[in-house]
Amino acid sequence: MTRRSAIVLLTMFATIALTSGTALAHPAHEQKVMGTVTMAAADHVMLKTTDGKDTMVAINKSTKFMRAKKAMKPSDLIVGMRVVIAAVTDENDEKLIAKTIELGPAPATK
């Protein structure tokens, strides 16, 4: 392979990688969701994300709850708490499923 051919191939691969961001979003692709808890249930949590959108993230038996690298319980998740959720997309209906939920400090009481 000549040097010119190698440069052309590398340029093509770089262009494809940079322009196909949505093509790389596929089931089981992990993404972060940050926001404030507006509702917490046994099987899902509702958030108001940092950009103001309402988002639902499913919770299952393998979801881990953490605060400062310490294990927490699902019952520690309360309305008004800020969280960072690492979630994957379900391949069937594209809902988000939480792998880990990093709990922030408890909201101030009024």
> 25-39, pLDDT tens digit by residue?
455 678 999 999 999
Number of domains in the chain: 1
Residue 18 CA: distances (Å) to CA of 7, 12, 13, 61, 67: 16, 10, 9, 36, 35
38 within domain boundaries: yes
Name the pairing type of β-strands 54-58 and 31-40.
Answer: unpaired
- Residue 10 is predicted with a pLDDT of 57
Looking up residue 87, the CATH number of its domain turns out to be 2.40.50.140
pLDDT band at 16 (very low <50, low <70, confident <90, very high): low
Note whether residue 62 is domain-resident: yes
The token duo for 37 is 């808890």
Q: What does the pLDDT average to over 49-65?
A: 95
Q: Is residue 108 part of a domain?
A: no
Region 8-37: mean pLDDT is: 62
Asked if residue 20 belongs to a domain, the reply is: no
Domain-located, residue 34: yes
Q: Is the pLDDT of residue 109 over 90?
A: no
What does the pLDDT average to over 95-101?
94
- Which of the four pLDDT bands, split at 50, 70 and 90, describes residue 21? very low
On whether residue 109 sits in a domain, the answer given is no
What mean pLDDT value characterizes the chain? 82
pLDDT (mean) for 1-11? 61
37: in domain: yes
Q: How many CB atoms lie within 10 A of CB 102?
A: 18
Give Cα 20 distance to the centre of its chain.
Answer: 20
CB 77 within 8 Å of CB 105: no
Does some domain include residue 56? Answer: yes
**The pLDDT of residue 25:** 46
- Write out the residue range of the structural domain in which residue 78 sits: 27-103
The gap from C-alpha 39 to its chain's centroid, in whole angstroms, comes to 17
